Amino acid sequence: MATDERVDTPHAKSGTRARPSVRSEILDRQPPQNEDAEKALLGSLLLDPMICDDVVSIVRSEDFYSDAHQRLYKHIIEMRAEGKQIDATLLVEHLAASGELEAVGDVAYLGEIAHAVPVASHAEHYAKIVKGKSTQRHLIHACTEIIHEAWDPVHEPRALLNRAEEKIFAINDEQGQDRVNSMHDVMVNTFNYIDARMENQDGDLGIGTGLHDLDDMTSGGMHPAELVILAARPSMGKTALATNIAEHVATEGRHTTLFVSLEMANLELAQRMLCGRGRIDGQKLRKNFLSTDDYDRLQGAAAELGDAPLYIDDTPSRNINEIAAVARRLKRQTENLGLIVIDYLQLIEPDDPRDPRQEQVSKIARRLKGMARELEVPILCLAQLNRQAEASKDNIPKLSHLRESGAIEQDADVVMFIHREEYYHTPDEVEQKGLGGKAEIIIAKQRNGPTGHIQVAWLRNYMKFENLSSKHDEFAQFED
């Protein structure tokens, strides 16, 4: 083939071994197909049109290899959707009216299709064969594109890997079946879930955050397939609370936790966690003023954290595909992925930088929710609030303050805000009003539970949020 000569000639002239033309080898072979199964499926539909409702969720018109079969299937499904009677004669009339009778092989070929099978009872089996061959063809096409792009030196390897994984998972996503369940099955599954909750020592199957009042209001913490948004203005402690929760889930809960940091390096995050867990003043660590006791506690905290199933991905400029790929691999490796934390939403790279910013954020929020459902783990994603939060009279954040898109509120199962009143007052006012070391977590939206305000302790020197009942004398150190 001319294509092969053009590709291989430069290598031959240089004296190197010519690379094989994988694309041409694939094209020389017949793509996976089963013409008999396609005919049998179409014949079954002509014998018993009611079967259309059973096979329509398995195959689509493009799953047929033959163009004529694609057209026939499409017309049969259209007739069924319009409530028309279906047989070979009526199908001929429908095709003639649309001008496609000759394109499918005329009346003689329709007669052959109509007599392809004696009974229609095996239609679903034929449909699965047709779908299987279609999947093989899609896989071959995707792999051929991957190979072709991989040979091209202009493509950056990381981008190639992302596109390759996206192509393969796109094929896998198409294999999903309808999720229609009888009420009997739904009731059985629901009571199995309720029984499991009642048998659980904590009374729920949620992933606990370590903050008792927050866990109580959210019925045990974060739940599988939930998208939880934690939003606040800068310097309110979003990352601190996220690391506190991730640390608790990994160390106390022993759940594998993935922390995707798009802003801070892993060393900085690790130091924050060490200071919080070891109760070390972060300023002392940065200035190398650690006492012997501080250092011992730091080592103890390092041993506990080092043994925890906590993974940090601090690769900058991640997009949703890349984050999902990392999470999928981690879930396969550990089989115990319990939580994904992303810091933060507005730093996730969009799929198409040319889209308006609001549309970019909307797509990211929707895909985060989709990823939570796919992996069946909660995703805790941090987000920024716009400046209107600080311009409001009481400084208390609201859902309308979510930055750049209302779709964040729509797709999230839970939306939480951090509010520290002391941030908006002078040191004297903080002391007079007793605001030092106090913070609120505001649950502004909860799809399956109540909303409200939760009081927590804020240990600024340790960058740590705790239950108010466990606050320590160190509060005296937290005044500005």
List residues with catalytic annotation. Answer: 263
| Euclidean distance between CA atoms 311 and 9, whole angstroms | 48
Q: What does 360-390 look like in DSSP terms, one character per residue?
A: HHHHHHHHHHHHHHHHTS-EEEEEEB-THHH
Q: What is the CA radius of gyration of the chain?
A: 30
Q: Among 422, 235, 260, 230, which residue's Cα sits nearest to residue 339?
A: 260
Q: Among 161, 142, 178, which residue's Cα sits nearest to residue 324?
A: 161
| Euclidean distance between CA atoms 276 and 279, whole angstroms | 5
Q: Which amino acid is at 157?
A: P
Element (H, E) at 75: helix 67-81
Binning the chain into helix, strand and coil, the percentages to the nearest 5 are: 55, 15, 30
What Å distances lie between residue 39 and 131, 434, 455, 459, CA to CA? 14, 80, 68, 71
Tell whether omega for the bond before 344 is within 30 degrees of 0, i.e. cis. yes
| Euclidean distance between CA atoms 437 and 458, whole angstroms | 5
Q: Which 3 state secondary structure label does DSSP give 466?
A: strand
Rounded to 10 deg, the angle between the 292-306 and 238-251 helix axes is: 60
